[in-house]
Amino acid sequence: MLFEYSIIAGILLGLFYALMAMGLNLVFGVQRIINLAHGDMVMLGGFGAWELYYGYHLNPVLAIVVMVPITVVVGYGLYYLLIPRLKSAVDFETLSLVLFFGVSQVVEALSALGFGNNERSLPVTSIPSQPVHLFGQFYPADWWVAAGVALPLLGIFFLYLYRTRLGRETRAVMADEHEAVSVGIDAGRVSAISFGVGLALAAAAGVLAVFVFGGVDPSEGVSITITAFAIIVFGSLGNPLGTVVGSILFGVAYQLAQVYTPSWSNLVPYILVIGTMLLRPQGLFGRRTRVA
Amino acid sequence: MADEILRLEGISKHFGGLHALQEVSFSVVGGEALGLVGPNGSGKTTLINVVCGLYTPNSGSIYLEGTKLGKMNPHRLARAGINRTFQVPQPFGSLTVRENIEIALSHRSGEGMSLDDILDFVNLGKWAGQEAGSLNAAQQKRLDLGRALALNPKVLFVDELGAGLNPVELAEVAVMLRSLLSGGRALVVVEHLMGFLDKLVDRVIVLNAGREIFHGALRSALDDDEVKRVFLGTVGA
Amino acid sequence: MLESRSVEKPAAGVFRRKTLLLDLLAVAVPVVGFAFGINIFANELLLVYMMVYVALAHGINISYGFTGYLPFGYFGFFGAGAYGATLAILDLHVPALIGMLFGGVAGVLFGLLLLPLFRLRGAYFAIATLAAGEAIADIVANPSLQSVTNGPYGENLASVYSSGQIYVAALVFMALALLAVVLVKNSRFGLALRAIKESEYSAAMAGVNVVRMRSLAWVIAAAIAGVGGAIFGWATTVFYPSAVFDSAISVFAIVFALFGGTGSVWGPTLGTVLLYGLYSAVGLSSPQYFQLIYGLAIVVLVLFAPRGLVGFGRAAGRMISLRRAGANG
Ligand SMILES: Nc1ncnc2c1ncn2[C@@H]1O[C@H](COP(=O)(O)OP(=O)(O)OP(=O)(O)O)[C@@H](O)[C@H]1O
Ligand SMILES: [Mg+2]
């Protein structure tokens, strides 16, 4: 009984995690940068939804629609502000990591100063709130909403990546930046747009996170980044479909831990990331990566 | 008959499904220069990486002076007398040329060339105090050779030292390498330039797709049908 | 051009003796400064924290500056040290000073546990240590372990508090950490570390035992964090797990080290004294402002001055000597 519950809950939350982690994987795939501020972007999405709800009575799901274009533009600009200067550095990988570590600190501090240190939550009535009964168990409505919103968003993302010209160029840069440039693709522009899209995915996940996590607070960024990173390493870096599968498996593992050993369940992402890196650095889907 | 320095028996190395080396066997004796040729991607550098312990072979054995080498870390093999230059040299860029050589010298147990001998030999004496990262490509290759010589290797693998050099420099390098054979050292030279090899080596091994397809004198290699096909194939492609 | 520059360099022996002297001064000055500083500036706790941070910044210096591996999860060692010392003092009843050594041992044990992470490349290593740091924080604070670590309720070392001992311990600890850096920097060991940082493969082919050298550096860095956490806990007296397993500790140590300049003995010390001094002068009332300033500092440093303060100094020195060379030639 509890087992089936964990599986279903894990799949529902897994779809949400996929949305939460996808942007991190996109940015990594394109630029070989691990955006350590990714979790903070998720957090900002949550605060954005909160402000839009209380300031403009905007339904959180609609807030996503408002925020996506804004974050794409912000990310586009941020890319040109930060990355090109670094590209020439010998130690690009580590330096970019340190850089985004700094960005993460700035975002966290600004959020704490602007929104206060306390957790904020949105009323459950802002979304459909009737718990769903299935196979003799009740599932919170917000899990269904999160999955129901994440799924079409992921679908749109995959259409973008596999069915549009820009998506094709993005995948070309992911495969080999030099090759892509040599066939006339503007890798800088593609990277900047991808960075924006990555942030938009994070912000959208952030709105849902307010419900799934029960609230949003400025210090949640680090653990979200680690969880997202655990998922994308597990599902193979640079592989978007792997992120979806990895997320669902992670969701199920986490729910099983929640049910059977609740006090230790928070360790799941840490164990997952360290275990994967040590035992199978290329991740589930075996695409050769640059981990080791 | 000179003493055998290094012997490889049935060395294979796979990367996933790619068979980079398949059952490669050969040996070199002291004072001998062996050529290792083959088109791009035929496994020459991989072979060096296996012998130097940077990659573990999937099968096969390696013998140094008749003693079978178990799985050993690269630094132990280097100290034991197996060394190489890198196809793309990776000197310690922020250290001086002198320090680059000194690091290797500090791990030599027996006799060998002094710091100044080495700097003279690779013609970098004037740059001894310079950061290695500021050297040009040809100088970095010579520094890499100096670093390898510091450990007084019994067998030295030279990976495309000639690439990018002009004819005059090439002739100098050939003389330089030949002088390394004294004292019973063995040399394995990877090179695409046949004219260069002709001046240097007695025998060649030809690899193609990880497999040995020819073994013998350089002249007869150039007449061998399979070798011709492999090389013309890559030239044509 | 190249040749004329190499002629300007003094003979190696003289050059090395000169830098060694400068490095030893970089140990003596802060030690003397903190030994007498207490007479001028009476906030003892602040000075203890500052000395601990000087040492931590040098731990980052050894691990990142010399070896190229950046442990974001450095706070995990710090917390492990605080708890290792506390448990030794409260449960094994060792004297507090000996307890500090147990802190170092706890840091080293945690470090040894993480040695397999060195199979990972730099960026992945950094994140893996972060995950490890968060994991050990969760484990120590877990309510299921209340009988051992007191879970989320923290520890209390009031019974062994001794301000004089704490100050001396911090001073000796900082001196040892600085000496360790001088030794690393001026030894074959340090040369090997710098070589490994540049190219692991070339280093191995130069006969350097890469695994052992890197592990040794890592263990030194872990020991520093462990003892640092132990002294921090002792000085703080009552602490919660969230106070010693705080990612801000990593942030501080990394910023101080980067700001001053890694790879040197002066840099991280200067960075710590300046930035931590500023932090304390403005007051601890709103730590967010510091998080903001330090975050911005990281961004600006990475983008504009990846070599830190010391880098500016060196660049200035080089300009002066070049101009002098020009005048002579
Ligand atoms: N670490 C590795 N992982 C996966 N494949 C590898 C690795 N190293 C080499 N290979 C592959 O093994 C094959 C042999 O490569 P190798 O570098 O040994 O060729 P080579 O003969 O030295 O070529 P070149 O003349 O271009 O230097 C190539 O297909 C190469 O892509
Ligand atoms: Mg090669």
Residue B236: pLDDT over 60: no
In angstroms, what is the span from residue A285 Cα to ligand 1's centroid? 23
List the single residue in C131, C291, C297 with the smallest CB-CB distance to A273: C131
B187 within 8 A of B35, measured Cβ to Cβ: no
Nearest CA to ligand 1 atom 1: B15
Pairing between strand C155-156 and B211-216?
unpaired
pTM for this predicted structure:
0.86
Report how far residue B14's alpha carbon sits from residue B53's, in angstroms, rounded to the nearest whole number: 15
Q: Which residues of A touch C134 (CB under 8 A)?
A: 222-223, 226, 270
Question: What residue ranges define each of the domains in chain A, with the CATH number in brackets?
Answer: 2-117+141-279 (1.10.3470)
3-state secondary structure chain A: CHHHHHHHHHHHHHHHHHHHHHHHHHHHHHHCCCCCCHHHHHHHHHHHHHHHHHHHCCCHHHHHHHHHHHHHHHHHHHHHHHHHHHHCCCCHHHHHHHHHHHHHHHHHHHHHHHHCCCCECCCHHHCCCCCEEECCEEECHHHHHHHHHHHHHHHHHHHHHHHCHHHHHHHHHHHCHHHHHHCCCCHHHHHHHHHHHHHHHHHHHHHHHHHHCCCECHHHHHHHHHHHHHHHHHCCCCCHHHHHHHHHHHHHHHHHHHHHCHHHHHHHHHHHHHHHHHHCCCCCCCCCCCCC
Domains and CATH numbers, chain C: 2-328 (1.10.3470)
Cα gap B174→B161, rounded to integer Å: 10
Full pLDDT tens readout for chain A, 292 residues: 778 888 888 999 999 999 999 999 999 999 888 898 999 999 999 999 999 998 998 888 899 999 999 999 999 999 999 888 887 776 787 788 888 988 998 999 899 998 888 888 887 776 666 676 677 677 777 888 899 999 999 999 999 999 999 999 999 998 888 888 888 899 999 999 999 999 999 999 999 999 898 888 888 888 899 899 989 989 988 889 999 999 999 999 999 998 888 889 889 889 998 988 888 888 888 655 444 3
**What are the start-end ranges of the H helices in C114-162?**
122-140, 146-149
CA–CA distance, A193 with A204 (Å, rounded to integer): 16
pLDDT score of B198 more than 70:
yes
Selecting from C68, C72, C116 the residue whose C-beta is nearest the C-beta of A101 gives: C72
Residues of chain C scoring pLDDT < 70:
1-16, 282-285, 317-329
pLDDT at A121: 85
- pLDDT of C252 reads 86
> Is residue B234 lining ligand 1, measured as CB closer than 6 Å?
no
Q: Which ligand is nearest to the CA of B206?
A: 1
More confident residue, C295 or B237: C295
Helix (H, G, I), strand (E, B) or coil at C237: coil
Alpha-carbon distance A146 to A8, whole Å? 13
ipTM of the complex: 0.91
- The C-alpha torsion from C289 through C290 and C291 to C297, rounded to 10°, is 110
Q: What is the pLDDT of residue C5?
A: 40
Domain regions of chain B by residue span: 4-81+154-232, 91-152
Q: What average pLDDT does this structure show over B32-42?
A: 92
Cα separation values, C254 from A86, B171, C53, Å: 19, 51, 10
| Contact yes or no for C191 and B150 at CB 8 A | no
> Over the range A172-192, which residues count as b (16 or more CB within 10 Å of their CB) and which as e?
bbbeebeebeeeebebeebbb
The reported pLDDT for the residue numbered A136 is 67
Architecture of domain B4-81+154-232: 3-Layer(aba) Sandwich (3.40)
Go through A135-145 and write b for each residue having 16 or more CB atoms within 10 A of its CB, e for each that does not: eeeebbbbbbb
How open is the CA angle A69-A72-A73, to the nearest 5 degrees?
90
pLDDT value, residue A2: 79
Please tell me if residue C87 touches chain A, with a CB cutoff of 8 Å. Answer: no
User: Could you give the angle at which helices C266-282 and C12-40 cross, rounded to 10 degrees?
Assistant: 20
